[in-house]
């Protein structure tokens, strides 16, 4: 195997530039048994301004050895004794430089053979009788490689940025929880003292909303990173629903609870509390002045939680769209805030093997039905399916 350096670059500093588009330097690997054909091709390239560094190989073994170093492009004869362009193409594509352009240069190949090499993944076919096409074809292929490389680098940078964002969200969430816990303790002391009870209740409600928001941040980061975990315990859904209703709206007239008996499931207490609180918050927000109705009961083999309001309701065509993250398929005036909380609620319930649907409320408005199976779950839940990556976190 031999090396061959091309002409030096013109005076003016081109030799010190690295971009092919400016210096037209070319590291060229020939798969060819005819030395004269190599000289013919390189003479044409130099005439078109290329500075060529090349090596010629004519066996599979020599080609594999040559591919240990990087090349810009491979020019291959269609057939040489004991070797073919299709075999060479397969070796190149299987190498660490498999992205390289591979152009077949031949004077004897027929139309059907040319179509076959292109179908197998060759970048182009050039007839030796029309070498005027070669230089533009090489320039085009090198530009395509540069674009693909830039795209890969951009995707890698985006993946690193997303990973950093997820880590930042998780760290921020945990950092927020420490002062939030201290704030809740202080509010509890204020409530027990009997001083300014209305202010204490207002502070408790806002602290609870802040707690829910922080939990959403942390859960979204965990879903994106694949570390989302379900921690199950014996949960009484009736008791959970009653506590969330009292926390969100201490005035019993705002939320009417129908949970006459215990309804026990194996579930993640904190995550189900987040689901119930999100549904109640949304019902109060969009339900107008009429009371929100919260019902918990056993339904078949599992548990049923229903949250109903008497607002404008959800149109039939929007009953799936509201569960998509930041879906703009519904009116932002009425349901814009549903984008994240309902998406996260459905995700949590699906990890439990449960479900949530939006239905018309028989009394007018919206009715959300949550079903939770009683079975015990594994601690670690799978991450989100492909193509369903969640958006940046926000309240809603």
Model pLDDT, residue 395: 34
Q: CA geometry: angle at 329 spanning 323 and 335, to 5°?
A: 65
Model pLDDT, residue 236: 94
Model pLDDT, residue 175: 58
Nearest to 25 by CA among 16, 36, 34: 16
Model pLDDT, residue 377: 47
Model pLDDT, residue 259: 94
Give pLDDT tens digits for 249-291: 876 688 999 999 999 999 988 889 989 988 998 898 888 888 9
Cα–Cα dist 127/104, whole Å: 8
Cα–Cα dist 232/171, whole Å: 24
Cα–Cα dist 360/21, whole Å: 62
Cα dihedral across residues 193, 199, 205, 208: positive or negative? negative
Q: Which two tokens stand for residue 146?
A: 């540069």
Model pLDDT, residue 199: 67
Task: Extract the runs of DSSP E, i.e. beta strands, from the chain.
Answer: 3-5, 25-31, 51-57, 73-76, 79-80, 83-84, 102-106, 124-127, 233-236, 255-258, 264-267, 292-299, 302-308, 355-360, 366-372
Model pLDDT, residue 166: 60
Q: Which two tokens stand for residue 172?
A: 């921020």
Cα–Cα dist 322/279, whole Å: 12
Model pLDDT, residue 46: 92
Model pLDDT, residue 42: 93
Fold observed for domain 3-151: Rossmann fold (3.40.50)
Q: What is the mean pLDDT of each run of 10 residues along the chain (396 residues)?
A: 41 38 79 92 92 93 93 92 92 89 87 87 89 92 87 75 60 60 70 69 68 66 64 91 87 86 90 90 86 91 91 89 64 46 86 92 92 65 42 37
Q: In angstroms, how far is CA 44 from the centroid of its own chain?
A: 47
Q: Which two tokens stand for residue 302?
A: 């599992």
| Domain assignments of the chain as residue spans, ordered by start | 3-151, 230-396
Question: Which pTM value belongs to this model?
Answer: 0.46
The domains spanning 3-151 and 230-396 adopt the same CATH topology: no
Model pLDDT, residue 368: 96
Cα–Cα dist 35/309, whole Å: 84
Return the CATH architecture of domain 230-396.
2-Layer Sandwich (3.30)
Number of Cβ atoms within 10 Å of the Cβ of 108: 10
The label of the residue with tokens 């795209």 reads: 151
């Amino acid at each position: 195997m031999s090396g061959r350096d091309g002409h030096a670059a013109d005076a003016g500093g081109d030799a010190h530039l690295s971009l092919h588009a400016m210096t037209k330097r070319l590291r060229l690997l020939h798969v060819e048994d005819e030395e004269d054909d190599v000289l013919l091709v390189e003479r044409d390239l130099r005439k078109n301004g290329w500075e060529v560094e090349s090596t010629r190989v004519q066996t599979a073994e020599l080609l594999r050895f040559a591919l240990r170093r990087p090349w810009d492009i491979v020019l291959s004869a269609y057939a040489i004794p004991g070797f073919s362009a299709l075999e060479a193409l397969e070796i190149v594509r299987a190498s660490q430089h498999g992205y390289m352009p591979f152009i077949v240069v031949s004077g004897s190949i027929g139309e059907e053979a040319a179509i076959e090499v292109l179908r197998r993944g060759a970048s182009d076919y050039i007839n030796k009788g029309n070498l005027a096409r070669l230089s533009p074809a090489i320039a085009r292929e090198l530009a395509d490689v540069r674009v693909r490389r830039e795209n890969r680098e951009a995707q890698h940078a985006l993946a690193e940025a997303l990973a950093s964002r997820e880590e930042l969200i998780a760290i921020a969430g945990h950092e927020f929880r420490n002062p939030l816990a201290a704030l809740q303790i202080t509010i509890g002391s204020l409530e027990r003292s009997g001083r300014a009870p209305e202010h204490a209740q207002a502070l408790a409600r806002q602290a609870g909303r802040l707690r829910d928001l922080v939990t959403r941040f942390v859960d979204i980061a965990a879903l994106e990173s694949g570390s989302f975990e379900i921690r199950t315990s014996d949960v009484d859904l009736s008791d959970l629903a009653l506590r969330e209703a009292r926390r969100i709206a201490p005035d019993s007239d705002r939320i009417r609870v129908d949970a006459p008996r215990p309804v026990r499931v194996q579930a993640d207490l904190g995550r189900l509390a987040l689901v119930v609180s999100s549904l109640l918050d949304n019902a109060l927000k969009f339900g107008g002045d009429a009371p929100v109705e919260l019902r918990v009961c056993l339904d078949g083999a599992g548990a049923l939680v229903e949250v109903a309001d008497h607002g404008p309701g959800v149109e039939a065509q929007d009953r799936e769209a509201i569960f998509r993250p930041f879906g703009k398929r519904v009116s932002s005036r009425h349901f814009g805030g549903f984008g994240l909380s309902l998406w996260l609620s459905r995700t949590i319930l699906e990890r439990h093997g449960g479900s949530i649907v939006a239905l018309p409320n028989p009394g007018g408005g919206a009715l959300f039905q949550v079903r939770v199976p009683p079975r015990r779950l594994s601690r670690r839940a799978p991450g989100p399916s492909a193509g369903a990556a969640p958006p940046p976190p926000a309240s809603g």
